[in-house]
Structure 1
Amino acid sequence: MNTTQVIIGIVVLIALSGFYVISIFNKLVTLKNRYKNAFAQIEVQLKRRYDLIPNLVETAKGYLKHERETLESVISARNEASGSLARAAAAPGDAAAMTGLMGAENRLSGAMMSMKMVMEAYPDLKASQNMMQVSEELTSTENKVAFARQAFNDQVMAYNVFKQTFPPVFFATMFGHAQDATLLEFEDSATIQAAPKVSF
């Protein structure tokens, strides 16, 4: 083997290594953009949910005249969740933003559950056409939120797994991908929807 062949071999090896490092960078960017896009879908559905909640409260207001505190807690939790969503949308995958959104969503779910329990005592309200329509839209939207959240979490996992594998783990920090993205997990709906047990 002569010197020219050795130099050509070294140049080819450096070029291939360079292309491989570039491919790692591109894949990290692609995976990050995918989970950001997936979060945008959650944002759309949560905003729709937040827009429906005042309609639900307004419909219930006429029937629940003596339950003002319950209605106010729903609106307060909705406003808090809306603010947390705005912060999370600015930094999808960020641990603090996701934790804030998860906490706000869990409080909103708890307030909504309390309102549903109060509504059980008002059969006329449950039978109201407007209430049935708004409730149906809310249920549909919550299902869409669950699907969007699953898609987001799948993309976050793909991103985290790739950046933790060898050799991307050596380049992730250098390329600005030091922190893992955080999953978005709300309280288990079965826990939220479980009726309290009363014993006499």
Structure 2
Amino acid sequence: MSERVAPISRYTRRIASALRRAAEGEQSHLTLSGLVLLLGPKAHRLLLLVVSLFNMIPGPPGYGGTIAWTTCAIAVAMLLGRPIRLPGIIGNRRLKLDMLIKASDQVVKVAAVLARLSRPRLRFLTGAAANLPYALLVILVSVVMSLPIPFINAIPNVGLCIIAFSMLNRDGIGVIVGLGATFLGLMLAGGIIVGAYHLGLAAVTALA
């Protein structure tokens, strides 16, 4: 009997295979809209995993904000039950294919390891009924992560990544862990925002 492959392993292999097919066309870059077409305009959960993983890759100035708004756009499409269509200002952003392929290969390896700890359980937290609260949470977190404040998106994004991984692997326990990480990240982000506000206020007062 062949070994059963975890859902998340199938999904991550699908991502890696799709990117390799794109590279076979001799193109060096892939737009975010092209990525949506490659993986499927209705593959909301899969694309949320992909963009949360991309947000962990260092990029040029503005990269983090672009990925955050892409995440938000995907979540809005999920909320409305519509295919994903990115606005041109986001969708035309180009990413290096070789970087994406290397990242996807690492994701496949990591997913294979994590799949040993994660398994389908508490499926009511990962079913279709979870799409509404899931999308609303992602929209909220994406707006926070889009703020041009250093380090504000690190922990919330890790939480979103865990949730996306667990949703695809039908692991409700993982979703709970991801929610904890996300809310912790939002609390820290709130502290950073309040601290930045008070520093700016102190600077204005000192100059007055």
TM-score range, shorter chain: 0.3 to 0.5
- State the TM-score, normalizing by the size of structure 2: 0.32
Tell me which of the two structures has the higher relative contact order, counting C-alpha pairs closer than 8 angstroms and 6 or more residues apart. Answer: 1
* Structure with the greater alpha carbon radius of gyration: 1
Structure with more of its chain in helix, by fraction: 1
